[in-house]
Amino acid sequence: MKLLAVFLIGFLVWLPSGKSSELTAQPVGLSLSVEPAQPINGSAVLFRVRADRPLKSLGGMWLGHRVFFEFDSASGVWCGFAGVELGTSAGAHSLKLESVSTNGMRSTSIQNVTIAQGSYPSGTLTVNEQFLKPDAEAQKRIRQERLLKREVFRRTSGQRIWKSGFVAPVDNIVTEAFGVRRIFNGKLRSTHQGLDFRAALGTPVRAMNFGEVILARAMFYEGGLVVIDHGHGLLTLYLHLSEFKTREGSRVGKGQIIGLSGATGRVTSEHLHAAVRWQGAYLDPTTLLNLKLP
């Protein structure tokens, strides 16, 4: 009887002990830093997350978009690239982080990130009326090209292809900034979704980072257009080219010449228009070029 009593007591004590370790397990502690420190609508953003224990994976949701995080062993933090659409309102917005620790424990954390309102001016341009009132044949071409771009943009790689920071496509000054409200021939028509660089006809244009060319052809509005997929939904676009130096399906390196600048498509003079697109949203290329990416 004494032996049986000892066994029962031991058995009863052991069960709560196991339950207690599960109940007292703490969620993963995460701390967040943001670059730039004060993002505005239209910004590219880098989230850096430090965990208080080793993680197997980290993912995020931001403004309805998925954020892919990768561990940077040099700094010991998880880094995720994201963006803020131009139409995003100023104020605090939630970044939802979902982590899995090396022992399999899942945790969710909500971090608030404050977005400031950017100041974007208006610009006036005069262009050929055919680009404002295209005829029936041109309208058919425009519809076909719109469908083509929609299909190409959804085929982006789920893997990161870019490596470290992005570089400017030409070493020339910017003649028109991102976000300018474009007034063509006296009417507000669009918002400038990239940067215009001064570039004489035939200036070599370089890839801003490693990637795969997913589009390289002449378009009605864009003229000679090259689109490079850098992975995780991040694209760079190069418009108004006079000549292609790459082709669709090619892998390109950072700084590799992909074309020559020109004055094709809807333009007022020769220049390079460079744009950045992240998961469907156009971002200010200047903010991408300034990010210290791992």
pLDDT at residue 66 is higher than 50: yes
Over range 90-104, report the average pLDDT.
Answer: 96
pLDDT at 5: 39
Question: Could you identify the residue written with the tokens 């090619």?
Answer: 250
Minimum mean pLDDT range among 73-77, 189-193, 203-207: 189-193
pTM: 0.86
Average pLDDT, the chain: 88
- In b/e form, how buried is each residue of 223-251, taking b as 16+ CB within 10 angstroms? bbbbbbbbbbbbbbbbbbbbebbbeeeee
pLDDT at 199: 96
The structural domains of the chain, ordered by start, are 30-115 (2.60.40.1590), 122-290 (2.70.70.10)
Q: Which two tokens stand for residue 168?
A: 């400017």
pLDDT in tens, 129-185: 555 678 899 899 999 999 999 999 988 898 999 999 999 999 999 998 898 876 654
CA dihedral 145, 146, 148, 151 (to 10 degrees): 170
Nearest one of 263, 207, 262, 266 to 237, comparing CA atoms: 207
Q: How large a percentage of the chain has pLDDT more than 90?
A: 75
In sequence order, which residues have a C-beta less than 8 Å from that of residue 69 and are 6 or more positions away? 47, 49, 57, 58, 59, 60, 78, 79, 80
